[in-house]
Structures are given as C-alpha cells and as structure tokens.
Amino acid sequence: MTPTPEQSAEWYRLRTTPTNLLTFIDQQRAFLLKQAQRSPPCPHCHTPLSEIDAAPDGWKLEEANTNVQFTCCHCGKPVAFILPLFAGQGWYWFTVAQP
Ligand SMILES: [Zn+2]
C-alpha cells in the first residue's frame, strides 16, 4: 500500500532525524516504522514483503495494526506475522488458513 503524502513526509522525518533529536514518543514511532519496513519473505511466494505493503487498507503508524488481515501484494494470499519468543531475528510471516 502506498503511503499518503502526509505519511511519507512524517516517515521521512522519523527515518532521517538523529535519534537524540527525537522525542521519546517519536523514538518509539521510528522503531515501529523501522520494524514495519523490514521485508521478510512471503511464506507463499518467497518475495520480500513488508508489513506496510501487506496491509491492504494502509498501514497506520499510530495504530497497533493487530486487526488487519495482511495479504501478500505479490501473490494475493493471506499472511500473518509472528514475533518469536526470543529476540534476535525480529518478526516474520507465516501462512494463515484461507477461508
Ligand atoms: Zn506472496
């Protein structure tokens, strides 16, 4: 999903501003944005897929995005992300049963 011009401007600010110049909240938002822009492979077609690209109605930085049905924008199949119990590799996609 392509971000709106306002989202693009805000995301650019969060990505390019040195961390020590961001407020605490903006540091958290920058971290969430960085995580959402990671692109682990889709479990179906193995194409790199970011959380932002997989949110069909637009990924929102201000929301938890927990009720979103993520869909691979390359193969169209539903995916969900999982956070491993132990830190280190970050989140990755897994398949979900198709209705
Ligand atoms: Zn796919």
Cα 79 to ligand 1 centroid, rounded to whole Å: 8
Cα 29 to ligand 1 centroid, rounded to whole Å: 27
Tell whether the model's pLDDT for residue 15 goes beyond 70.
yes
Residues sharing a CB contact under 8 Å with residue 19, sequence separation 6 or more, in sequence order? 27, 30
Tally helices (H) and strands (E) across the chain.
3, 2
Tally Cβ neighbours within 10 Å of residue 65. Answer: 19
CB 65 within 8 A of CB 55: yes
Cα 43 to ligand 1 centroid, rounded to whole Å: 7
Reported pTM: 0.79
Question: Mean pLDDT throughout 55-60?
Answer: 83
How many Å apart are CA 11 and CA 5, to the nearest integer?
10
Cα 11 to ligand 1 centroid, rounded to whole Å: 25
How many Å apart are CA 8 and CA 10, to the nearest integer?
6
- pLDDT single digits (tens) 17-56: 999 999 999 999 999 899 889 999 999 999 999 999 998 8
Tokens of 64: 């938890």
Helix (H) or strand (E) run with residue 22 in it: none
CB 19 within 8 A of CB 30: yes
